[in-house]
Amino acid sequence: MSLWFLILLFHCVRGWGIARDSLREEDNMIKFIFPGTKWCGSGSVAEDENDLGSHPETDSCCRDHDMCPDVIEAGGSKHGLSNHAPYTRLHCDCDDQFKKCLRNSTDDMKVSQVVGTLYFDLLRTKCYKLEHQVTGCSNYNTIAMRCEEYTMDPSTPKSWQWFDVPVFHI
């Protein structure tokens, strides 16, 4: 799914906020923020780290995800990997924590479910981690169009590699 489709989707979903953050020059672009949150979407409209929307648990999941300490910005490179996607990609540990946090949210379940579905199921991004060389995919989900379980060669040294993010829905 392309970023442009998500932008179109955000325009069509009732209540999505469109904001322009002028605090930082690199943020001087249109952002799509999920209703009732300040951190869930493309960037943040929060005044500070403690500023959360009306769905605070879901919003704190998004805030923590946004603050992942190991990211590769769009067009950037790190750990020998290049991110050619038009959005930031994160270490798989951060995406795993984000998924768990959203699933455990006691906010209106529809909010965390929609945020999780948009990020994990529709965006279908990739994450990265240090792992033995991938030799194949032992469990490919044809509906979600991603590998859910990889086969690896434990005799190889670990290297940084891209992995499909997990499916959000149980």
Q: Is residue 169 part of a domain?
A: no
Given the residues 59, 66, 91, 95, the one annotated as active site: 95
The pLDDT value given to residue 109: 67
Taking alpha carbons only, the member of 24, 59, 14, 27 closest to residue 40 is 59
The pLDDT value given to residue 21: 39
The pLDDT value given to residue 39: 95
Q: Is residue 47 part of a domain?
A: no
Q: How far apart are CA 113 and CA 3, in angstroms?
A: 20
Q: Is residue 106 part of a domain?
A: yes
Q: How far apart are CA 63 and CA 47, in angstroms?
A: 12
Q: Is residue 67 part of a domain?
A: yes
The pLDDT value given to residue 144: 86
The pLDDT value given to residue 17: 41
CATH number of the structural domain spanning residue 93? 1.20.90.10
The pLDDT value given to residue 29: 54
Q: How far apart are CA 49 and CA 63, in angstroms?
A: 8
The pLDDT value given to residue 104: 94
Tell me if residue 95 is catalytic.
yes
Evaluate whether 36 touches 153 at the Cβ level (below 8 Å).
no
- Write out the DSSP string of 86-118: SS-EEBHHHHHHHHHHHHH--S-HHHHHHHHII
- Write out the DSSP string of 136-167: EEEEEETTTTEEEEEEEETTSPPEEEEEEPPP
Q: How many separate domains does the chain show?
A: 1
* Amino acid, single-letter form, for residue 160: W
Q: Is residue 18 part of a domain?
A: no
The pLDDT value given to residue 16: 40
Given the residues 55, 59, 65, 66, the one annotated as active site: 65
Q: Residue 135: which domain range?
A: 52-164
Evaluate whether 38 touches 51 at the Cβ level (below 8 Å).
yes
Q: Is residue 8 part of a domain?
A: no
Tell me if residue 65 is catalytic.
yes
The pLDDT value given to residue 160: 99
Return the structure tokens found at 74. 């769009």
Evaluate whether 62 touches 105 at the Cβ level (below 8 Å).
no
Query: Which residues of the chain fall short of a pLDDT of 50?
Result: 1-27
Q: CB-based burial of residue 155 (10 Å sphere; 0-12 exposed, 13-18 middle, 19+ buried)?
A: exposed
The neighbouring-strand residues paired with 11 are none
The pLDDT value given to residue 18: 39
